[in-house]
Structure 1
C-alpha cells in the first residue's frame, strides 16, 4: 500500500492518496471548511491544515476566510486542482477495475461479501 501511495503521487499529478482523501469532498462541493475535510479524511484539523498549506503552495486549493464567520477557513479546488484530482481518480478507478477483473466471478462475489463484513467490523470493533 505504501508503494501504491508513492507511485500515485509520483505519476498522477503529484497527489498522494492521503491528499486525495482530503480533497475528495471538494470534487462534489466547493467551499468546505477545514474541519469537515479533516473529519472526512479521518485526520486531525492541524494535520489537514498542514496538508492544505502544501496543496495551496502547489496551486491545487485556495483557502479563504468565511464571510459569515471569520474563524472558519473555507477551502476550494483551483481549476488545476480539480483537473489533477479528476485524473488521479480516473487512474485509481482503472487500477481498481483491472484488479477486480483478475478474480473469477465466484471470487468476486466472495470478495464483495468479505469487504462488506470487514467494513462493518472496522466501523464497529465490538461486532463479531
Structure 2
C-alpha cells in the first residue's frame, strides 16, 4: 500500500497557513496573558508543564523536569526556586542516588497543581466542545501531525 506524498504548496496556501498560524498562536499568547493577570498567585502554564512529572506523588531530578517542560536547566532551576519559596515544592535526596537532588510537590503544591490541571482541562473542553465532531477529528489529526513535524525541526 502506498501513501500519497504531499504536493508542493502554492505560495497563496503557504501565506494563508502562515497567517492562520500567527492568528492561532497570538490567541494562545493572549489567553495565557489573561490567565496570568487573573490568577496572580496561581501556577503559570510553564510551571504546570514543569510540575507534570511530579503528579501522583512522584519525585524527579531537575534535569528531568527541565526536559519535560522543554526549558533549559537554569530556567527550570529558577522556576523551582520560586515554587520552593512559595511552599509548593520541596527538594530532597533522590531515591536512587543520595548525592543527587530530587524535587517533589508539597501537599499545597499537589492541591494547586490538581486545581490548575482541572481548570486547564475545563477550558480546553469548552473550546473543543465548540467544534463539530468532524472539526474535532480534523484538529486531533492535524495537531498531532504538526507536533511530529515541529519535533523533527
Instruction: Please list every run of 5 or more consecutive structure 2 residues that lacks an aligned counterpart in the other structure.
Output: 1-27
TM-score of the superposition, structure 1-length normalised?
0.87
- Per the alignment, residue 105 of structure 2 pairs with 77
Of stretches 9-18 and 108-117 in structure 1, the one that deviates more from structure 2 is 9-18
Instruction: Please list every run of 5 or more consecutive structure 1 residues that lacks an aligned counterpart in the other structure.
Output: none
Q: How many residues align?
A: 124
- Per the alignment, residue 18 of structure 1 pairs with 46
User: 2:78 aligned with 1:50, yes or no?
Assistant: yes
In structure 1, distance between residues paired with 2:56 and 2:69: 15
For the pair shown, which has the larger CA radius of gyration, 1 or 2?
A: 2
RMSD after superposition: 1.8
- Per the alignment, residue 29 of structure 2 pairs with 2
TM-score of the superposition, structure 2-length normalised?
0.74
- Of structures 1 and 2, the one with the larger relative CO (CA 8 A, separation 6+) is 1
